[in-house]
Structure 1
Amino acid sequence: MRRRLIQSTLAVVLVVIAVFGVSLVIVESRTISTSAQERVDSEAVRLVGIVDSRLLGSEDVTAEILRDQVTQDRYAVIRIPGRAPIEIGQKPEGEVIHAEELGEGRESVRVEEPKSAVTREVGRTLLIIGLVALLAVVAAVLLAVRQANKLASPLTDLAETAERLGSGDPRPRHKRYGVPELDRVADVLDSSAERIGRMLTAERRLAADASHQLRTPLTALSMRLEEITLTDDLATVKEEANVALTQVERLTDVVERLLTNSRDPRTGNAVSFDLDEVIQQQLAEWRPAYRSAGRAIVSSGKRHLQAVGTPGAVAQVLAALIENSLMHGGGTVALRTRVTGNQSVIEVTDEGPGVPGELGARIFERAISGRNSTGIGLAVARDLAEADGGRLEMLQAQPPVFGLFLSRTAPLKKSTETDEPTVR
């Protein structure tokens, strides 16, 4: 592209020089020739006037007297009737420019100038025009190279940016070139890079969240199926199968919620529900795991508390806290319910060493973990709680106490048909 731009610019300049240069040469050549002829004519008229005035005054007309009146490099012949011709200067050879005038006494004056002098002047003019044209060509080449670099380099950069986007590197370059059209393309590419970066981040986050949130129900389901394989009691098989079906339903709910949040994190199905049902469900799911670890999980506090949210999401938050206590805590895990203001609170605590002091409030950040774990469980739990309009906080570090705060009443929502607020 750079070469094509230089060649096209140079071609335009050469065409302009050819059109206007040739015209200028023709005009200047004619002007120089015309000027030389006019100078010779003027000198012939002047000499005739001098000869006439001297003849009328009965003065001598000689070559010595008229020599100073003839311009150097010109040749003049004065013919007076009855006298020998008077020659001034050296007769030129080759083509000449001449002028001849007659005086009142029938005398004649012929002035000649070598045409080579006109040719030399035309040559000097052509040389000047050629030098100007050469300078114009050089300036055009330099300008074309500069302009080509100004246009070609940005296009190369933009092509590299597009290639980087295609190869999975969505970092925006934020580079501008001073050309509005190219800057517009750069803006679009940077915006696309940022969108692709957000999409990739969301996809990676969805994959991490999915692997973490699906692990718990899959583990519980596996445990129930193991119980079925180890017993011959039909009643036990039926009971465990029912629990397994419950786990499958929860697994389906987790998948649906993950997909819904990946499309629109603000989308929710908040309803008013009984906290006891969710807590008892979690106790039933986690007791086998705690029995295997030689630990216990219990519940206490105010019963039949109502809360507003998504039961499946609340169950996932509690599962994350219970699993966190199983992995990092110690002793008995207790789920306590209480009321504070207009909120229902579920506290999860254990008898373990608690949260290390260097972690502090960072415990809810992704990739922050006190031991060898994924470090996203509490972060996902907090996101789920906030998506339902609640909040998850660490109330105490040692021993650890985590509190899930949920509203007891539905938030006010403006009706789509009127401007009056209605309760959802």
Structure 2
Amino acid sequence: MRRRLTILVGATTSLVLVAFLVPLALLVQTVAYDQALNSASLEARTLSVVAATGDEASLRATVQRTNSGEPFPVTVFLPGGRVIGEPAPESAAVRLARSGRTFNAELPDGGVEVLFSVGAPDGTSVTRVLVSEEQLRSGVYRAWLILALMGVALLLISLAVANRLARSLVRSIDELAGASHRLAEGDLSAQARPDGPPEINAVAATLNTLAARISDLLVGERERVADLSHRVRTPLTALKLDAESVRDPEERERLETSIAALERAVTQSINDARRPAEDGGRCDATRVVRDRVEFWTVLAEDQERRLDAELPDRPLAVGVAGDELESAVDALLGNVFAHTPEGTAFSVRLRAADGGGAVLVVEDEGPGLSRSPQRGESGAGSTGLGLDIARRAAEGSGGSFAADSPVGARITLRLGPAGDPRQAVTARRAPGAF
């Protein structure tokens, strides 16, 4: 924008200068031409007065004095073919002037001869004053050079002023754009400084108001989620008391383990809701997935589900926090148990991804995804939030989420490498979220 404004001002200034300087240059040339001819005509008229007296001696003295001091060569053609002054042939213009005419004649090789006819006692005399091409243009080129330099100076000044004004304008727009980018990246503390034209100041003030409003809405949302999660602690306490009253040790242990996992999830929800969202995070995907597979293996055995787990024997560092990856894996495996009949086999495969990170694939042999409910939709025991947790964990690490149904349901999470600067800024809704 700065460059375009400078070019626009330069083009406008150039047009104005051309419209002003070209006529002025032509006027200078015309004035120099007329001034030279007027001076020569005045000299010819003065000599013609002396020639009219018929005193040849006085005429010769006057012509000699004129040729020695004036820049214009003077020649007087007397009756009978005599010539006084600068030698010159009697041209057709001179012969025409002998008929009593006074005029200016242009020469073929440039220049003008001023011819003044005057009657003498013994005939007609013609006074000829020669004005050369250089004399006709005397001072013209110097004046043109001055005009050209003045035009260039004015153009440079206008470009400098335009560049300064454009820089102040563009700087304000750049600061506004920078604040917008920081807000888009999640930095709600970004503020735009109102420094520029009134229109840009109004946009900056509106952007700051928007950022403050978003911050207030996020704080309110976190508090509501935290309050809702905190309310779950009361029924959790009741469940723990009920579990302690179960007499079967194995059943009591299983219930206590499930309640403890639920309590950890509630605590994590409270902590996540109360702290601002932060980019980054890392964990060992192999360790997290192995722990969650071992947790769900007990329930898989109770429901006679075959579980095939393929996990690497080395750590895989990914760019997502461990608790977020745990929630994602639990959401995927919980969907298998919630939406497929008992006895349905499923598999969990984890491998290293090309370029760093990891790829997690959870696949079952159930009915598949005939319809992909969106986040927030409920039906058939679904709240529309399960797969969205996994999607946000994958995209937050700089990876991707995919869901398809080649036979049953297959969910693929591509987790970005640890330290990957790409973080999800907005939570896009993935198709197929339970």
TM-score of the pair, normalised by structure 2: 0.46
Larger radius of gyration: 1
